[in-house]
Structure 1
Amino acid sequence: MVLSKTKSSFYRRLLIASLIERGFNTIPKIMSEIEIPRRTAQDTISALEELDIECIFIGAPKNGYYEIRSWGAIDKNWVMNNTIKLMETLSY
């Protein structure tokens, strides 16, 4: 199955939000879990606000972490229940 850029971007954002919620809440943890470049992880986290997912950084740059404060209109339960499907669809 070939994903459009729009769909793959949307799924990547949902996957990153799910990982943050599951405790993979730093750039290095996200990078090691799904093997993506640092810049892609950073850009994807920044883009979460476009989906009204409120993601904040807590702490200092060296030892801080990300936290999802609000999922906006996104169904968090669906995302959390379909994380594996998102990873498989994105080939992670």
Structure 2
Amino acid sequence: MKQKIKGTGHLVVNGDITINTSRSKASFYRRIYVAYLIDSGINTPKELLDATKMPRRTLQDTLAALGEVGIQAERSGGTKNLTYQIVNWGAINKDWIENNLQHVIDVLE
């Protein structure tokens, strides 16, 4: 059983193990996770909101900050048919994300 202690970055597993995740690490993981989803075809705001369960504003901020970690994303379409596409991963290793996807998701839960 996992339980997150709200606002601390701590995760309690089976009542006795605590894992501390820094806010900057969680922010980085959030960015690469969203980029991974976009690259996997989950590339509209609605699909991203449904997949991540993020608040809309958090998703907007995350999308706007992809460039800060070297990921280049392009927007296309209008308000009702907006989509995103990853154009360049920069220094991010997409294979690492695929191989560690469950860990990334666990950190973000």
- Taking only aligned residues, the RMSD between alpha carbons, in angstroms, comes to 1.0
Query: CA separation in 1, counterparts of 2:102 and 2:48?
Result: 15
| Distance of 1:34 and 1:54 partners within structure 2 | 20
**Alignment match, 2:21:** 3
Cα separation, 1, equivalents of 2:20 and 2:42: 27
1:73 and 2:75 matched: no
Determine helix, strand or coil for the equivalent of 1:85.
helix
1:31 to 49, 55, 64: 49
If asked which structure has higher relative contact order (CA below 8 Å, sep 6+), I would say 1
Q: Which runs of 5+ in 1 are unaligned?
A: none
Q: Distance in 2 between matches of 1:36 and 1:85?
A: 18
What CA distance in whole angstroms lies between the structure 2 residues aligned with 1:80 and 1:56? 21
Question: Structure 1 residue 55 and structure 2 residue 73: aligned?
Answer: yes
- Measured after TM superposition, the shift of residue 82 of structure 1 is 2.1
Q: 2:45 touches 2:82 (CA, 8 Å); kept in 1?
A: no
Give the aligned length: 91
**Which of 36, 42, 53 does residue 60 from structure 2 map onto?**
42
**2:102 paired with 1:84:** yes
Higher share of residues assigned helix = 1
CA contact (8 A) 1:48 1:54 kept: yes
TM-score scaled to structure 1, two decimals? 0.92
TM-score using structure 2 length: 0.78
- SS of structure 2 residue aligned to 1:39: helix
Distance 2:102 2:37 in 1: 11
**Aligned-partner Cα distance in 1 for 2:37–2:30:** 10
